[in-house]
Amino acid sequence: MESWAIQSVGGKTINFPSTITTVHNYVFGSNCTGTILNIDRAENTIPGAPWGCAGLTINWNGTK
């Protein structure tokens, strides 16, 4: 997923499927306060988390 691909996410819930394998820095822009990201992958299998988004809560929910 490219940088700045998802913007204005403050306070929202976002779900990434297991097919997402790469996330570039600042994919969420700069406002991530209160944002929850559910990722259907094993913990830390996508390098670089939280991708420039300090207020991001990440739930790694998968096994791959």
Query: Mean pLDDT in the chain?
Result: 84
Counting the structural domains of the chain, the total is 1
pLDDT score, position 1: 57
Q: Domain containing 16: what range?
A: 1-64
34-49 pLDDT tens trace: 889 999 999 999 999 9
pLDDT given at position 55: 84
CB 38 within 8 A of CB 16: yes
Confidence at residue 6, expressed as pLDDT on a 0 to 100 scale:
66
Residue type, 44: N
pTM equals 0.82
Give the per-residue pLDDT at 24. Answer: 85
The dihedral over CA atoms of 40, 46, 48, 52, expressed in degrees to the nearest 10, equals: -40
